[in-house]
A = this chain, B = another copy of it.
């Protein structure tokens, strides 16, 4: 019941983008870029880390708890769907 290759690739692409954002902060600090600009770059890392967290939790729910698309019990399918919605609200906003 492991995650699919497609999911893994999507997650790896997200993590590599975050690595690129961290390297951009490193270069900005070395080039003595202004504080406000560096803080803007760091804020975008924070947003990307929240997005990765939401994606990981959502995948965990689908693969290891209840996948709303395959669950025969309608109540549980709806509960899992709502839970995924809540995770998105909290980590993407």
Taking Cβ atoms with an 8 Å cutoff, the residues of A that contact B are 1-3, 8, 11-12, 15-16, 18-19, 22-23, 25-26, 29-30, 32, 34-36, 38-40, 42-43, 45-47, 49-50, 52-53, 56-57, 59-61, 63-66, 75-76, 78-80, 82-83, 85-86, 89-90, 93
Contact = CB atoms under 8 A, between A and B. Distances in A.
A22 B26 contact: no
Nearest to A77: B65
A86 B22 CA distance: 19
Residue of A25, A39, A53, A65 contacting most chain B CB atoms (<10 Å): A65
A42 B86 CA distance: 11
Copies in the complex: 4
B79 A60 contact: yes
Contacts of A47: 93
Contacts of A56: 35, 38-39, 42
